[in-house]
Structure 1
Amino acid sequence: MNFFVNKGMGHGNSGVEHAQFYRAERFREKKIPFKLVFTDLLPKLHLHMQEWHLAENEVIGMYDYFLADNPDDYLENGLREISEFQEEMLWDLTNTQRRQVRQTTGSYTETILRDKRYSEKKKIYIVDDSRVFLENGIHRLSWHYRDYGSRGKLATNIHLDNFRGQSYFFETFEELVSFFFAELQGSYDHNIFIIDRGNENEEILVRLKDGGVPLKIVDVVHAAHLVEFQNGHPLFNNFYQYMFDHFNSMDAVITATKLQRDAMKKDLAQLEAPEQLKKIRAIPVGGAEINEPARHWDGTEARFVTASRLHPEKHISQIIKAVDQLRKAGMNATLAIFGSGGDEKALKELIEKLDLGKYVTLKGLSQDVVHDLQSYDVFVSASYSEGFGLTYIEAISDSLPIATYSNLFGAQELVHEGRNGALADFSRQDSDEEANVKNLAAAMKRTIENYDELSQGAHQVAQQYQPHIIADQWAELMEELS
């Protein structure tokens, strides 16, 4: 079995989850078996699976598995019946929430007990989770939380009762996850674990493999892998440090772009043997699902659009400020923003402050980005770093020119100045934001000034990222590893 290993998914997802969904579609096309594996506690998992069109027999949730009446049937078929999510709260006389009971969308209920204590340091009362009980009839999983200082609050003293007729005790969450992966390994043959997220997942699987368990590991790199060089030595992104420290244990390492593949090989040239570097492969995490004809701009309204999580690291505020500059310079520019996230309130306040309410709109989360982008002229991104940039590909599918910061690695691989878009120089220093916005506005202006030519270029680039090409690349890798 081929497992896509992650921690969780939800209503709004990052590029990591969307990369998994895209890979799943390619595996379906090639009839390659797969299961998405989630290790987080996800009370609404099955609702979100339906939202993102994942079948029950394509997903394994760790908690669903441990609490299943028939674990083997769950692994094969998923849940036979989905529950409606419900929850109720119990409050004490001081208006403190003491107990939360949820009927999850799975077969189990979740009960959370909360403690109230006074913090001398903060001079306030703190209410926090204390105990958790997950129950499905005679099947039960429970733990309590302990504060480990710098490590934060962690689950400990974990009891798993009546799993396959046995009861188990785990001191740590990592021990529970290790038991879970060992169960998966024992339930299937010829297993390849494709790790997308979760340092603890990665460490556990490497320990199992190094301990003699016959499994294979593919690590997928979804972001910039290198921070900087110091005294000639590479400092890697913390999320990938463990992978590089145990590079020999990896059977393949996947980057989304050829640029990152080549950069990674160069960065590791002094640390790894040439033979080891061959395991680094480039396979796009998204493709052009459609290939719309080139477009013509009618010369009236310049309709810009962006789509991403509404988080500070996406710098949506800089796109809004760039639109403000373009309008003040006489361009009839508008902006539609698709996405959801914690930055939404701040973006609304900025739009109001700049008096752009008629021209900049928040559209909410898109369930079909390719379709939604078709109503606009130019896609814009202000991200400083993209491992790939799925929304770039979605815009290219619609033959939209792209204006973006010249980030590594997505923008520099997918957007070519004068061919299918415009690249803006940028600095990561907060003090340089004004210069960044000016550069981005200039790039946006160039896409409009050269619109028809750039749209034709986007149409041509899309042909390089057709789904069947990417499906063939995955099929080839799976064949080599099997």
Structure 2
Amino acid sequence: MTIYNFNKGIGWASSGVEYAQAYRSNIFKKNKQIAKFIFTDMFQENLQPMAQNIGFEDDEIIWLYQSFTDVRISPTTFSVKDLEKEITFTIKEKKTSTNSVTYISEENGIRLTAYLDKVATDKVYKTELLVNGKLIQRDYYTYVKTFSEYFKPVDNSARLFQRRFFNVNGSVAYEELLNGKDSLFLFENRIISSKRVLLEEFIKNLQLTAQDILIIDRSTDQGPEIIKCKGPAKVGSIVHAEHYNATLTTPEKILWNNFYEYSFTNVESFDFYVTATEKQKNILAQQFNDYKKADPLVEAIPVGSLDRLRKKAGRKKNGLITASRLAGEKHIDWLIKAVVEAKKTVQDLTLDIYGRGTEESKLRQLISELEADSYITLKGQHKLDDVYKQYATYISASTSEGFGLTLMEAVGSGLGMVGFDVPYGNQTFIEDDKNGYLIPYIKNEDEINIKELSNAIVKIQEKEMGNGGLAQVQKASYEIAEPFLTTQIRKKWLALEKEVCHD
């Protein structure tokens, strides 16, 4: 029996979906349930370090494109010296920078740039070959060359038209010809007409049985192929976020979240669904009954778990922490403005912001403009297991959390909590006036929301500074965290496997 988990991409600043998979991987290993995590996107960087960064092991990972070769998932070990042995032109000049090494030919206008791995900085994960200033070829490496991309100049830009994927011995495993949005894949004994058909062939090659389980984390552009080729295997869909639009839903018709529309509209093809919270489970089950006249198996299994509760006596006085991708929907700018306002009352208030993302430079500028550099700090990406307990309070301005791994981790470290009264994470991990405060959220009223955040920050600091207040807040958070201990979540996954595979 193997549990195959289907996703699309992964990155250095991964989303909650990837972190949820990493937590699930940990549970499966502890349960001795064999699991594989399949990524189907094209990567222009070795995915192994990115997967390892959030806790995956190499033998758990399958990359769709590499699965048709004999190259294994591996760290980048191809060195600069290895590359230099392969260079056939005479090197006139060598330029070295922090992230790359460039070799310039004596003649023919050849320029080869090697890009260095973010983790193993003396190793090469990609090279670019330019001839007379025009990009001709890119090669990608792990412990061997994994694939090459070929370009031709079109309208003063480089257009990708072909890829070659290699076996360990350097032979060509197959080729991809790109034409617009889709591709043609050329193997020695067959032609595959599109990426979707390539995925179908991959699934068929798994030789699935009735004891195998397919878990779909992202169904966009791959859900139909998984269902079509699953054979006797059981299939389930993980619900990672709010699954419907409440505003546009009527008693006669429901508007599903487009990420889950395929899974929900084809309910007869799925064996089970997993939500992260009991509240969402109950809502989804009722909606299946109301709108689809269906009664599928819906289970609530938290997407994360806590190996243990983390405790610490001394914490940073009036120290706030938040952790997330630095993305617009997380509203970190609201938190910054709220803390600036709250500091007028709580003079030694500080905020540390953990995470990376597209909003980082914008947030840094906002902190500077508000002259808050001395007490609001962007801390970057860190492993936070033992960081939360240094603080007294966790704050969030997200207006939509299907679960909220950082919320779980924060209560597991006994922090007081502040967040909006929105489904489903905040409502799961914050008990109003016990371990923190749930704030009313008003859509499109930024200033009111910021003011409410500021007031709640002041309120919880006063609560925690009161006689025995911090101890009571911590006790309440630890009690909320208890059901999310790994020992409890392990039992839920074993029970689901038994129910699905042993009818």
Instruction: Give TM-score scaled by structure 2 length.
Output: 0.83
1:347 to 341, 344, 363: 363
- Residues 92, 425 of structure 1: CA spacing in aligned structure 2 closer, same or farther, 3 A cutoff? farther
Distance 1:138 1:20 in 2: 34
Say if 2:281 and 2:299, in contact at 8 Å, map to a contact too.
yes
What does residue 244 of structure 1 align with? Answer: 264
User: What is the match of residue 112 of structure 1?
Assistant: 149
CA distance in 2, matches of 1:351, 1:127: 39
2:190 corresponds to 1:168: yes
Q: 1:290 aligns with which of 292, 308, 313?
A: 308
Is 1:386–2:401 an aligned residue pair? Answer: yes
Give 1:303 shift: 0.9
The 3 A distance-change label for structure 1 pair 62 and 107 is farther
Instruction: Check if 1:37 corresponds to 2:38.
Output: yes
* Alpha-carbon offset, residue 326 of structure 1: 0.9
User: Structure 2 CA distance, aligned partners of 1:216 and 1:107?
Assistant: 36
1:248-305 Cα shifts (integer Å, max 9, x gaps): 111110000011111112222222345x24x01100111223213475778xx41111
CA spacing shift, 1:80–1:256, aligned 2, 3 Å:
closer
2: CA distance between counterparts of 1:428 and 1:91? 51
The residue type equivalent to 1:180 in the other structure is F
- Aligned residue number for residue 89 of structure 1: 128
- Show the counterpart of 2:485: 466
- Please name the residue that 1:307 is paired with: 323
Identity %: 27
For residues 13 and 190 of structure 2, what CA distance do their matches in structure 1 show?
Answer: 35
- The answer to whether 1:129 aligns with 2:160 is yes
| SS, match of residue 274 in structure 2 | strand
- 2-structure distance, mates of 1:389, 1:398: 15
Alpha-carbon distance in 2 for matches of 1:407, 1:128: 45
Amino acid at match of 1:327: K
How many angstroms apart in 2 are the aligned matches of 1:132 and 1:370?
41
Q: Which of the numbers 49, 54, 59 marks the counterpart of 1:57? A: 59
Q: Which residue of 1 is the match for residue 455 of structure 2?
A: 442
Unpaired runs of at least 5, structure 2: 79-122, 465-469
Deviation (angstroms), 1:132: 2.2
Aligned-partner residue type, residue 182 of structure 2: A
Gap change, CA 1:273 and 1:128, over 3 Å in 2 = same
The 3 A distance-change label for structure 1 pair 60 and 273 is same
Query: Which residue number in structure 2 is paired with residue 478 of structure 1?
Result: 497
Confirm or deny that 1:16 pairs with 2:17: yes
Instruction: Give the aligned residue type for 1:433.
Output: D
Counterpart position of 2:211: 190
Residue pair 1:185, 1:191 contacting (<8 A) in 2 also: no
Q: 2:242 — aligned with what?
A: 224
Match in the other structure for 2:380: 364
- Return closer, same or farther for 1:79/1:92 CA change in 2, 3 Å cut-off: closer
Distance verdict in 2 for CA 1:128–1:424, change over 3 Å: farther
Q: CA deviation at 1:61?
A: 1.8
| Number of residue pairs the alignment of both structures matches | 445
Structure 2 residue 249 is matched with structure 1 residue 233: no
Q: 1:375 aligns with which of 387, 390, 405?
A: 390
User: Amino acid of the residue matched to residue 56 of structure 2?
Assistant: L
Q: 5+ unaligned residues in a row in structure 1: which ranges?
A: 119-124, 148-153, 162-166
The separation in 2 between residues aligned to 1:82 and 1:37, in whole angstroms, is 23
* Equivalence for 2:139: 101
SS of the aligned residue for 2:478 comes to helix
For the pair shown, the structure with the greater C-alpha radius of gyration is: 2
